[in-house]
């Protein structure tokens, strides 16, 4: 960097760090955090969802079998009290969280108030914009897979389709494809009775407000042998107003709300007025339309003819707006940066004429 001066930079571990993870991906989300956090030299504490804790025990078994020293990876189970303890403990230097936006904001505020680094991912209301020139078959299948995969219980579920102008042939095929979706084969159950009641409440409310129910999953027949599960079938609502709860709230279930609009400009307005900013997608065969949406959408992850636009490493995962509290993303290069501190070393060594220092 100058005559006789060198500057080097290293990434140093923070010490003890923690992750708080949700029920819906009990192995994948912890594995966004654990490998990066411990590889860069930290000890890691995981607080899994109290609804799905078993996967993390398996992760612990595999890490021990691989030779990870005791104490490098740790699990604490519990609910609110444990989360608060993690946020407050002075020896925990960083906290990563994935869950609802309401709790993400609380965890972020409490952790940072205690001097911790925090990155907290919240909810989503991802929009898929469908235009008339979209490929009918792949778009219909993409809309269905994105909205109904994991029974809609994922932050990357695109739960709103913004139909621009006349896209009825695509919607018609979507409905036909959806009729063939089988519970227990194409889609699992809702995680709990409380969640099922909350989701069906949104459907009931939308119906009362005037939504047309193209497919109603409230009375779906459970698969044989699993009658006691919390089942809800594919549900598609048409004619939804952008301001209705079914269009604005994260339902977190197999419910797709279709909003009708005449222009691409209005479609973008609907998308960008949404409080979240996790992901957005457009289905089109026009490069110009794709470019317009990808440049204008207020979201951290954009799909072009892809309904679940999850980036793969080295690209990082993360949204904007009310979908994320904190700086950076949780995977890829951003993940390494989150779990480390930068150390910069600037050095200058005066030349020596002492004979004993000469080695060549």
Query: Which positions are annotated as active-site residues?
Result: 155
Q: Are strands 117-121 and 324-325 parallel, antiparallel or unpaired?
A: antiparallel
Distance set, CA 359 to CA 132, 274, 350, 356 (Å)? 75, 67, 16, 8
* Residues 112, 117, 123, 128, Cα dihedral to 10°: 130
Strand partners, 6: 347
DSSP code string of 254-320: SEEEEEEES-HHHHHHHHHHSSEESEEEEE-S-HHHHHHHHHH--SSEEEES-SS----TTSPP--E
- Quick count: other Cβ atoms within 10 Å of Cβ 294? 16
Token code pair at residue 244: 């209705």
Q: Where is 325: in which H helix or E strand? A: strand 324-325
Distance CA 177, CA 49 (A): 33
Q: Where is 141: in which H helix or E strand? A: helix 136-148
Nearest to 12 by CA among 69, 73, 94: 94
């Amino acid at each position: 960097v100058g005559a006789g001066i060198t500057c080097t930079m290293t990434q140093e571990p923070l010490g003890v760090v923690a992750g708080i993870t949700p029920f819906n991906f009990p192995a994948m989300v912890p594995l966004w955090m654990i490998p990066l956090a411990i590889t860069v030299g930290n000890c890691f504490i995981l607080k899994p969802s109290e609804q799905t804790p078993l996967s993390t025990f398996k992760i612990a078994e595999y890490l021990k079998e691989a030779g990870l020293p005791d104490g490098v990876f740790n699990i604490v189970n519990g609910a609110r009290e444990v989360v608060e303890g993690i946020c407050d403990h002075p020896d925990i230097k960083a906290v990563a969280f994935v869950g609802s936006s309401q709790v993400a904001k609380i965890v972020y505020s409490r952790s940072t108030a205690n001097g911790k680094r925090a990155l907290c991912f919240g909810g989503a209301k991802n929009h898929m914009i469908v235009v008339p020139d979209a490929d009918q078959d792949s778009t219909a299948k993409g809309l269905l897979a994105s909205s109904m995969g994991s029974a809609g219980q994922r932050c990357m579920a695109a739960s709103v389709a913004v139909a621009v102008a006349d896209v009825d042939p695509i919607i018609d095929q979507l409905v036909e494809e959806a009729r063939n979706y089988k519970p227990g084969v194409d889609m699992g159950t809702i995680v709990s009775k409380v969640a099922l009641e909350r989701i069906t409440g949104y459907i009931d409310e939308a119906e009362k407000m005037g939504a047309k129910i193209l497919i109603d999953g409230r009375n779906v027949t459970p698969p044989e042998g699993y009658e006691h599960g919390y089942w809800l079938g594919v549900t598609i609502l048409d004619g939804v107003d952008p301001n209705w709860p079914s269009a604005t709230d994260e339902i977190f279930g197999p419910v797709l709300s279709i909003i009708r609009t005449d222009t691409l400009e209005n479609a973008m307005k609907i998308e960008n007025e949404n409080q979240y900013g996790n992901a957005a997608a457009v289905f089109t065969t026009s490069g110009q339309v794709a470019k317009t949406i990808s440049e204008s959408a207020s979201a951290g992850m954009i799909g072009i003819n892809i309904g679940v636009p999850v980036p793969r490493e080295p690209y990082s995962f993360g949204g904007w707006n009310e979908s994320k509290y904190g700086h950076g993303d949780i995977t890829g290069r951003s993940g390494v940066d989150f779990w480390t501190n930068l150390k910069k070393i600037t050095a200058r060594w005066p030349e020596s004429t002492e004979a004993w220092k000469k080695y060549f």
